[in-house]
Amino acid sequence: MRVINADVYCPDGVFRQKDIYIEKERFVEALEHSGSETEYGICPDEVIDGGGCYAIPGLVDIHFHGAMGFDVCDGTMEAFEEIGKYELKSGITAMCPATLTLPVDDLKNVLSIGAEFAGSVRSDAADLIGFNMEGPFISHEKKGAQNGEYILPCSKETVREFLDSSKGLVKIIGLAPEANPDFEGFIEAVKGEVKVSLAHTATDYDTAMRAFGAGASHVVHLYNAMNGLTHRAPGLVGAAFDFGKATCEIICDGMHIHPAAVRAAFRLMGSSNMILVSDTLRCCGMEDGEYELGGQPVIKDGRICRLREEGNIAGSVSNLFDCLRTAVLDMDIPLSDAVAACTGSPAACIGQDRDYGSIEPGKYADLLLVDKESFTLKTVIKRGVIS
């Protein structure tokens, strides 16, 4: 397969008009293009005209919960299948879903079924390449839409149970350091096996800096479910800015964060540290109404979803491509920075950039063609197959 006439997002972050060559399921150099049949029976010499389009890597979402009436924490193969299909149709070719704060045995079951799903690559669904465990080691004060009944003290033994159940697919584990007295020992013990994120936390600046010093290296949805940045109490936001080496998720659905705060984060953190996430719930792609999140009722109303009782914002209803579009068109994030934050940066964050996140030889041929004028999705290619 060859894609021609598109403005291609290159690994150095620059758009250039060039041909893209795909053989079997991976990108190849032009000289490697053999003209043989692929395992899918598609002729590699098929030409796709990308005129008037940007060609960008398939998106990688490392924090979302569900879509189309399903949540990964339903713990069923059907949930993973239907969510994976929706994600792929929406331009997300690789996914690392987030788990909720639930009983340990329930989480282990979810992780086990996810590992089974990940083991069978499908042409009609996004690849499952990891899990982002938002709980259960979070704080009651900043639990947000998480179920406080199941919050637990951090435990390296429990983390290893999660890793075993997922067959190593747990890539990120959340932690509220101020709620866990031995947080530094915990981070030191597990940081070589999983990335520790600061999540759903009321931590102050000094405690957050101690956590970063111990080896925490990620921040779950920056600004949300944490204390705000003020001039006398900079909190986790200020610590992340100061530390400068943590990757920071950010939800650009236009509901969670003011555009000025998004722009400030990209400038202060550096675009290479920013990762766009969707944080979508099961009501993503569905009609307005009442849904369920970890045993709690939530109300979807247009572009926003809230807990029915407390009124807290409860995740997002905008998929990652929609967030990318909002970041570029409504928040004035430079296109190259926004694309990186949806592709190469999340893939690298969870250690999957060998196969995902950029258009270069040897990586899976995951590719989107995006109309340059309307910034709408025209074509999705996953592993060399048009979806």
**pLDDT, block means (10 residues), the chain with 387 residues:** 96 96 93 49 71 98 97 97 98 98 97 96 94 97 91 98 98 98 97 97 98 98 96 97 97 96 95 96 92 86 85 86 98 98 98 98 98 97 95
CATH class of 59-349: alpha beta
* Beta carbons within 10 angstroms of residue 104's beta carbon: 15
- 176 with 207: CB under 8 angstroms? no
Query: Residue ranges of the alpha helices (H) in 43-139?
Result: 77-89, 104-118
Same fold, 2-56+363-386 and 59-349: no
Q: Which residue has the tokens 């997300």?
A: 92
Residues whose CB falls within 8 Å of the CB of residue 157, separated by 6 or more in sequence, listed in order: none
pLDDT on residue 158 = 98
Question: Distance between CA 93 and CA 196 in Å, rounded?
Answer: 25
State which amino acid sits at residue 151.
Answer: I
CB 95 within 8 A of CB 132: no
CA distance 192 to 195: 8
pLDDT of amino acid 38: 44
Q: Using the structure block, give the residue that is written with the tokens 């979070």.
A: 138
Q: How far is CA 304 from CA 255, 260, 262, 281, 320, in A?
A: 7, 19, 18, 11, 15
Residues 6+ apart with CB under 8 A from 189: 156
The pLDDT of residue 12: 96
Q: Is 360 exposed, middle or buried (0-12, 13-18, 19+ CB in 10 A)?
A: middle
Summary count for the chain: helices (H), strands (E): 10, 25
Give residue 271's Cα distance to chain centre.
Answer: 16
Rounded to whole angstroms, the Cα distance separating 255 from 258 reads 8
Rounded CA-CA distance 143/146 in Å is 5
Give every CB contact of residue 89 below 8 A, 6+ residues apart in sequence.
380, 387
CATH topology of domain 2-56+363-386: Urease, subunit C; domain 1 (2.30.40)
Domain ranges of the chain: 2-56+363-386, 59-349
pLDDT for res 43: 46
- Dihedral sign, CA of 84, 57, 336, 229? positive
Tell me the two tokens of residue 56: 């960008």
CA 235, CA 152: separation in Å to the nearest integer?
23
